[in-house]
């Protein structure tokens, strides 16, 4: 039994999400403690939050902002931000990001204000 999993993001199907387009690695691994997402941010992402998930955003390309509980935090390549559960957030700008959700991605842990 292998003790690793290898993924090439270009082999994963693009998925539309509230942030833009993402490719999600390791979500199909039952025992994965986290997942890894390649995210291309769209022009007007939707503000949302998670009740259980911490996310780490690592900016690969582009410059813009992360809106975090109403505060605009500037980001550029190699900026990293840890977003804790409950923090309302969205990325703003033409960005390419690696997003590391911990625990792994769960469609049921996305919440939006009315």
Per-residue confidence (pLDDT) for residue 17, from 0 to 100: 94
3-state secondary structure 79-93: CEEEECCCCCEEEEC
pTM above 0.85, yes or no: yes
Q: What is the pLDDT of residues 71-90, one digit of tens each?
A: 999 999 999 999 999 999 99
pLDDT in tens, 1-17: 889 999 999 999 999 99
Q: In what order do the strands lie in the sheet with 71-75?
A: 71-75, 64-68, 89-92
**Of the candidates 50, 62, 41, 44, the residue with the CA atom closest to the CA atom of residue 106:** 50
Q: How many CB atoms lie within 10 A of CB 71?
A: 10
């Amino acid at each position: 039994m292998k003790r690793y999993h290898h993924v090439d993001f270009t082999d994963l199907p693009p998925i539309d999400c509230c942030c833009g387009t993402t490719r999600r690695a390791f979500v199909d691994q039952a025992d994965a403690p986290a997942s890894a997402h390649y995210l291309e941010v769209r022009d007007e992402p939707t503000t949302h939050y998670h009740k259980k998930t911490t996310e780490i955003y690592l900016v690969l390309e582009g410059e813009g902002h992360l809106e975090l509980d109403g505060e605009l935090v500037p980001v550029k390549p190699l900026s990293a931000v840890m977003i804790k559960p409950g923090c309302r957030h969205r990325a703003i700008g033409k960005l390419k990001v690696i997003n590391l959700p911990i625990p792994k991605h769960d469609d049921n842990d996305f919440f939006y204000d009315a």
